[in-house]
Chain A
Amino acid sequence: MNLPTTLSDLRVHGEHLLQFQVLGSTALRVQRLRNERKLGALRMGPDDVLAPPPRALARMQELMSRHYLEGRYANGVRKVAWVTSGAPWEPLEALGFFPVYPENHAALCGVRRRAEANCEEAEAHGYSRDLCSYARTDIGTVLSGETPVGRLPRPDLLVCCNNICQTVLYWYEVLAHHFDCPLVVIDTPFLYGEAQEHQVAYVRRQFDEELVPTAERVAGRTLDERELVRVMLEARDASQLWREVLDRSRHRPAPMTAFDGFLLMGPIVNLRGRRATTEFYRDLLAELDARVERGVGAVAHERYRVAWDNLPIWYRLSKLSKLLAGRGVNVVASTYTYAWGELAPLMDPTDPLGSGARVYLHPILNRSTGHKLEAMRTMVEGFSLDGVILHSDRSCKPYSLGQIDQRDQIVDTLGVPALLLEADHNDPRAWSEEQSVNRIEAFIEMLETAAS
């Protein structure tokens, strides 16, 4: 935390203390306790197609609301870094940066039906509708100042890693130009097979020569090795727990749905490396274990189990979840939520930067389409799946590339029905309700006839 040296600094610190640390945090804690009580008292009615969400949802809401609330008062108190979802966060956490994930914020806009207006704002400034809807939502937010979280703090540092796509390179250049602040780009070579040592060394050098020195300069302090080890340990434990949470859905009936996962993943994406995040996932896991023990499924009558590939359709989460659950379909696994858990074994707290170089080379989007097919194949077997839904996401080209072949392979070699569903993760204008629902229902009928 920066220490106040002027009267204006004092006012900023005072606001952070009063509005965030005292008033806001207390109010959110009270709200969480109330929500936990409410969720705990919910029972499944005879007409309900879904079980009540896990009680841990209340804790997740508190963590995320606290985070965005702090964001409103962060400038001048903490250094702020805007980072891509695949950026190496741990050194920045250890240096005390406050994180903003524009992709997560954009998803929040999507869920709250605010993305379209921000996309239109960006388009009005000349950004093509063919660009990723996260990028358009974010740039639109920056231009309009419109956000469901009240206010996003200005970045002191931008960190962009191209392990998720190439769009981020230009998106972050736009941000660097707009905010006139330093931008660190971490280039991660695409992996056609296993990572080569020279590739790991190349990424590691960028940490040593670019990321850490720039972040230290902006933070005004040097990276404490012990703190970095502690952060990496927390990050690894939380990622491992998140993976275990997802793996609980191997049970039949599955104690949660991928739609729950799309919401519960908030802390592992945004608040990785913190004790509270690790504890949250430990509690969630315990809650799911209790469900498994009691044989409680997330879908009232789980008859078919399917996987979801690609990003969620944020503005249709609830509708899709109910549509599928109403026909006894539980989306029990997703390549997307898994991306934040599957790399835990690569995280080595005794060598945070060295193992970090390996970790950030390995996200599913930085690996071959064959690897993704293999991941889905493993899911089909491990989660006893009856089908796969592949969201062909107009906005996420790297994720969608190869899906037609992947779908065909799943159908032909595994004999499992698979549906390619055209949509966009954040731009509702790319969604055709009638056509999409028709396809989903035809897919469900296929699952039904296959089982008959």
Chain B
Amino acid sequence: MTVAALGIDAGSTTCKAVAVDADGHSVGWRLESALPRVEAQTDALLVALALELGAADGVPVVATGYGRKLVRAATRDVTEITCHARGVFADLGTGGTLVDIGGQDAKVIRIDERGRPVDFAMNDKCAAGTGRFLEYTADRLHVPLDDLGPRSLAAPRAEHISSTCTVFAESEIVSLIAQGADVDEILLGLHRSLVSRIVAMVRGVGLTPPLLLSGGVARNDAIRELLGRETGQPVRLPSAPQLMGAYGAALLALELTR
């Protein structure tokens, strides 16, 4: 097991690193919550992963994510659009329409049959429709993040959340609770609100099946379920949705060696 390249995704919520061998297979990874000091954190994360896997010095590193330009060890930096497309294509072996919902942004990327991103859309200047929206409201409702999906899916009906703004949605939640609304039904309403924004972006880019889902929010079953229902398409997930950006970055780093 020789580490041939490393990829690091310094995201807004979590920081991920993936190592690949010369064949492009993932041989190890690390994930931790993002800290304010991106330089120090990414240095430490890469060193830890390299030591754990016995990687040689001078292994190429590609950085992605919002902190990508602050990764001192990076040979190159590439945006998440390209990295996610590359990672998911390698993992699932197919192009299609990729929805990636991260902590701070949501993106829809159309990937062609050769794995190249050919079009994309992102949420604009607003955290609604992203992981942060769910995190924020989960916190307000005192529901653990991992319970969000199952509890939403268990709700018999959804409360209607009209505001797409994270901050205003909180006011709406407060008012719904005051009116005695059921927490699970509020949760389902929130998930629907988020998915409706994502589906609008999917329609903007155009849905070329299969529909693929990556990013930390892919861990949430309700999002996957509702996205499938709204688009009428089965949703396919890569093996490690949250690591696809870093995996794609590692594959791009591997290309630098060739």
Contact = CB atoms under 8 A, between A and B. Distances in A.
B82 A449 contact: yes
A439 B122 contact: yes
A450 B118 contact: yes
A442 B79 contact: yes
Interface in B166-219: 204, 206
Contacts of B117: 442, 445-446, 449
B122 A417 contact: no
B124 interface: yes
Contact of B82 (A404, A432, A445): A445
Contacts of A422: 124-125
A434 B105 CA distance: 12
B81 A442 contact: yes
The interface size bin for chain B is: 10 to 19
Nearest to B116: A449
Given A408-B206, A434-B66, A445 B81 contact: yes
Interface string A121-135: 000000000000000
Contact of A435 (B119, B120, B122): B122
Contacts of A411: 118-119
B78 A445 contact: yes
A441 interface: yes
Interface string A114-155: 000000000000000000000000000000000000000000
Question: Is chain A's interface secondary structure helix, strand, loop, or mixed overall?
Answer: helix
Contacts of B79: 438, 441-442, 445
Interface in A401-452: 404, 408, 411-412, 417, 420, 422, 432, 434-435, 438-439, 441-442, 445-446, 449-450
A411 B124 CA distance: 20
B120 A438 contact: no
A231 B119 CA distance: 48
Interface residues of A, number: 18
B116 A435 contact: no
Contacts of A420: 121
A449 B105 CA distance: 23
Nearest to B124: A422
Interface string A204-222: 0000000000000000000
Given A408-B206, A422-B124, A435-B122, A450 B81 contact: no
Contacts of B80: 438, 442
Contacts of B125: 422, 432, 435
A432 B121 CA distance: 16
Contacts of B124: 422, 435
A442 B116 CA distance: 12
A204 to B, nearest CB: 43
Contacts of A404: 204
A446 B121 CA distance: 13
Interface in B88-109: 105
A212 B251 CA distance: 69
Contacts of A408: 204, 206
Contacts of B66: 434, 438
Contacts of B82: 442, 445-446, 449
A449 B117 CA distance: 8
A441 B122 CA distance: 13
Contact of A450 (B116, B204, B206): B116
Contacts of B121: 420
Nearest to B77: A441
Given A408-B206, A438-B66, A441-B79, A446 B122 contact: no
A302 B124 CA distance: 30
6 contacts: A422-B124, A435-B125, A439-B122, A441-B79, A446-B81, A449-B117
Interface of A: 404, 408, 411-412, 417, 420, 422, 432, 434-435, 438-439, 441-442, 445-446, 449-450
Given A404-B204, A445-B79, A446-B81, 16 more contacts: A408-B204, A411-B119, A412-B206, A434-B66, A435-B122, A435-B124, A438-B80, A438-B122, A442-B80, A442-B120, A445-B78, A445-B81, A445-B117, A446-B82, A446-B116, A449-B116
